């Protein structure tokens, strides 16, 4: 009896080793017309501090913001282009958001806002490595997910590059293998003289944690960390910059665990955090002279996106 148990244990261990050593191809190759819905929940906390001689009107202390976002998002694959990149339509179907802001001197209740998330539609171009390489669509200024992105210091295109890039390797991988992806971000708007800033890149480092099942699907569990330099082109308007010397910098860091159905090329679940730190200074504010203005933003968001329907 003991010998049989030992043999069984050895075989079980060998079986586990076999699973751990299994190599898989992880790429983005969905079928045309494939569609899925996601339940997206995000909670954000951010603090903005002001300084410099021109900050008196901003109050004596920092401004704190809490924001919650709960929405349904539909994703549909429209097709593939002649370069092998996929055109994907992303639609915000429905949802709600709420914002609470507090700062010294702010009247009670004046810093609260809530409402329905705007119904919006965007088109992404995604390459076989799961990287977003293009975004186009309507503007989301005025509320919802992109309103959150702007409060968090990001432009709407940057938000899509971060949220919908799920980096995949360019070769077979086994459990424990790592890979790095470098994604070019949208260009910074041209400033005085028509000059554009140098290209910026988001860098993602990923690891295949395990091959497992989730809600009946064969999935790869992947952990990804990312560093995204901030596109600060919209932090100051052209009028603010006229005759001024500006210094600005910052970055977003992301960390997430996500489950990828590599047979149907879709994310089943994605959960993680996003942190930001941004600072900027303008001296003086105009060519007529004036004092300096400083702004610092620090924040953190927790989010979870869950597949609610099977792909067609």
Band of residue 281 on the pLDDT scale cut at 50, 70, 90: confident
Per the prediction, the chain carries an average pLDDT of 80
Residue 236: its pLDDT value, please? 52
The answer to whether residues 100 and 66 touch, using CB atoms and an 8 Å cutoff, is yes
Residue 18 has pLDDT above 50, yes or no: no
Structural domains in the chain? 24-307 (2.30.230)
Q: Are 173 and 179 in contact (CB under 8 A)?
A: yes
Residue percentage of the chain with pLDDT more than 90:
47
> Tell me, what's the pLDDT at 36?
95
The dihedral formed by the CA atoms of 15, 16, 20 and 25, expressed in degrees to the nearest 10? 50
Helix, strand, coil abundance in the chain, percent, nearest 5: 15, 50, 35
Question: What pLDDT is recorded for position 162?
Answer: 80
- For residues 204 and 224, give the distance between their C-alpha atoms in angstroms, rounded to a whole number: 7
Q: Which of 54-68, 85-99, 176-190, 295-309 has the lowest mean pLDDT?
A: 54-68
Determine the pLDDT at residue 5. Answer: 55
Residue 107 has a pLDDT of 73
234 token code pair = 């919209």
CA distance 183 to 134: 10
Handedness of CA 144, 145, 150, 152 (dihedral sign): positive
Compute the average pLDDT of residues 134-151. Answer: 54
The CA distance from 173 to 200, in Å, is 28
Flag whether pLDDT at 56 surpasses 60: no
Model confidence pLDDT, tens digit, residues 60-73: 678 899 999 999 99
Could you give the CA distance from residue 2 to residue 179 in angstroms, rounded to a whole number?
A: 44
Beta-carbon count within 10 A of 178 CB: 11
pLDDT digits (tens, 9 = 90+) for 95-121: 999 999 888 777 766 778 899 988 888
Indicate the angle between helix axes 156-164 and 144-151, nearest 10 degrees: 100
């Amino acid at each position: 009896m003991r010998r049989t148990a030992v043999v069984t244990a050895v075989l079980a261990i060998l079986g586990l080793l076999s699973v751990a050593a299994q190599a898989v191809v992880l790429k983005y190759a969905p079928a045309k017309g494939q569609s899925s819905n996601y339940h997206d929940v995000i909670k954000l906390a951010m603090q903005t501090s002001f300084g410099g001689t021109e900050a008196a009107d901003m109050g004596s202390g920092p401004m704190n913001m809490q924001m919650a976002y709960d929405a349904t998002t539909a994703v549909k694959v429209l097709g593939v282009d002649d370069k092998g990149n996929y055109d994907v339509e992303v639609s915000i179907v429905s949802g709600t958001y709420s914002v609470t802001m507090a700062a010294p001197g702010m009247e009670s209740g004046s810093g609260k806002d809530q409402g329905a998330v705007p119904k919006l539609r965007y088109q992404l171009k995604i390459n076989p490595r799961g990287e977003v390489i293009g975004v186009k669509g309507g503007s989301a200024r005025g509320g919802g997910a992109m309103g959150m992105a702007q409060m968090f210091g990001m432009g709407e295109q940057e938000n899509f590059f971060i949220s919908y890039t799920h980096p995949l390797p360019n070769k077979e991988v086994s459990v424990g293998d790592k890979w790095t992806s470098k994604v070019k971000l949208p260009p910074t708007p041209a400033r005085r003289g028509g000059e554009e800033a140098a290209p910026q890149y988001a860098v993602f480092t990923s690891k295949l944690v395990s091959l497992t099942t989730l809600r009946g699907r064969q999935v790869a569990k992947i952990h990804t960390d990312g560093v995204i330099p901030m596109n600060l082109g919209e932090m100051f308007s052209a009028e603010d910059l006229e005759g001024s010397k500006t210094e600005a910098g910052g970055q977003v860091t992301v960390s997430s665990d996500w489950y990828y159905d590599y047979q149907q090329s879709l994310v089943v679940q994605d959960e993680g955090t996003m942190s930001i730190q941004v600072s900027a200074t303008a001296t003086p504010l105009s060519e007529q002279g004036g004092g300096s203005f400083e702004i610092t933003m620090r924040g953190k968001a927790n989010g979870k996106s869950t597949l609610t329907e099977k792909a067609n």
